[in-house]
């Protein structure tokens, strides 16, 4: 069995992962209060869900390190590069399927037009790439699962606050907005806001580029960290 298939099967067999990746996003789509009004908080809470889902998926790498599975894998002809790439692609594929299902439900229930739905998929897809990359880099910082989880809860709370998940980023003071720009969460909120308000404008595309740059930085950092 390839590392890619093993990572996908591990996701399917884990109850917590199934709840976060499969159940919560679908339930969110059937809560009308999240998708009405000027701001429509559902778009931003779903981005938070992608970030949390990425972290839960990326914990598989930490689990492999803790239970020594990674040592057994690397004793075979599989290289560290292949191990990481196949795991990260498995995590990303899980999120991409989720994004597709969520947007299709939104298209059917909320009357989103096709161009808006496709642009939303693109924005969430790039944010998923950035979230997986960030979660990978974050996981490489820790050797204990409890410390990893506790620190991430603090990080997610902070990033959700300054990234515009809890309320519009326009309400933040300038110094917090500047701090928020250091995380992909700010840019996905910025991209969604512009998509909702103005369509495919320059600011929307700029947010996508910013998230791709963050993805590259996180992958380079995580790739240079020793995980064994």
Name the residue range of residue 11's domain. Answer: 3-224
- In the predicted structure, residue 26 carries a pLDDT above the cut 90: yes
Please give the Cα distance from 106 to 186 (Å, whole number). Answer: 22
Instruction: Scan for tokens 């790739």, then name that residue.
Output: 223
Q: What is the model's pLDDT at position 228? A: 55
- In the predicted structure, residue 180 carries a pLDDT above the cut 70: yes
- The encoded tokens of residue 160 equal 């959700």
Task: Quick: pLDDT tens for 60-101.
Answer: 888 887 777 777 777 777 777 888 899 999 999 999 999 999
Please give the Cα distance from 63 to 40 (Å, whole number). Answer: 37
Answer whether 136's CB lies under 8 Å from 218's CB. yes
Average pLDDT in the chain: 90
Q: What is the model's pLDDT at position 104? A: 96
| Rounded average pLDDT over 24-29 | 94
Which of 173, 179, 177, 175 shows the shortest CA–CA distance to 190?
177
Q: What is the model's pLDDT at position 25? A: 94
CA terminus-to-terminus distance, the chain: 22
- In the predicted structure, residue 122 carries a pLDDT above the cut 60: yes
Answer whether 185's CB lies under 8 Å from 47's CB. yes
Q: What is the model's pLDDT at position 1? A: 58
| Rounded average pLDDT over 165-184 | 91
Phi, psi of 39 (to 5 degrees): -90, -40
| Number of domains the chain contains | 1
Task: Quick: pLDDT tens for 213-225.
Answer: 999 999 998 877 6
CB count in 10 Å sphere of residue 208: 19
């Amino acid at each position: 069995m390839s590392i890619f298939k093993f990572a996908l099967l591990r996701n399917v067999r884990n109850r917590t992962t199934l709840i976060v990746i499969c159940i919560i996003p679908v339930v969110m789509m059937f809560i009308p209060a999240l998708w009405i009004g000027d701001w429509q908080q559902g778009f931003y809470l779903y981005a938070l869900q992608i970030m949390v889902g990425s972290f839960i998926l990326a914990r598989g790498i930490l689990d492999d390190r803790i239970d020594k599975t990674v040592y057994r894998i690397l004793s075979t002809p599989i290289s560290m590069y292949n191990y990481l790439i196949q795991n990260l692609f498995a995590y990303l594929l899980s999120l991409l399927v989720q994004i597709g299902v969520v947007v299709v439900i939104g298209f059917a229930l909320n009357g989103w037009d096709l161009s808006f739905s496709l642009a939303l998929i693109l924005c969430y897809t790039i944010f998923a790439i950035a979230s997986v990359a960030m979660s990978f880099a974050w996981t490489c910082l820790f050797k204990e699962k409890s410390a990893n989880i506790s620190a991430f809860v603090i990080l997610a709370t902070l990033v959700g606050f300054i990234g515009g998940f809890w309320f519009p980023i326009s309400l933040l003071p300038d110094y917090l907005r500047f701090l928020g720009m250091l995380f992909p969460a700010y840019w996905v909120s910025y991209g969604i806001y512009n998509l909702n308000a103005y369509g495919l404008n320059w600011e929307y595309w700029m947010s996508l580029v910013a998230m791709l740059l963050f993805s590259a930085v996180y992958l380079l950092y995580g790739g240079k960290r020793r995980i064994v």
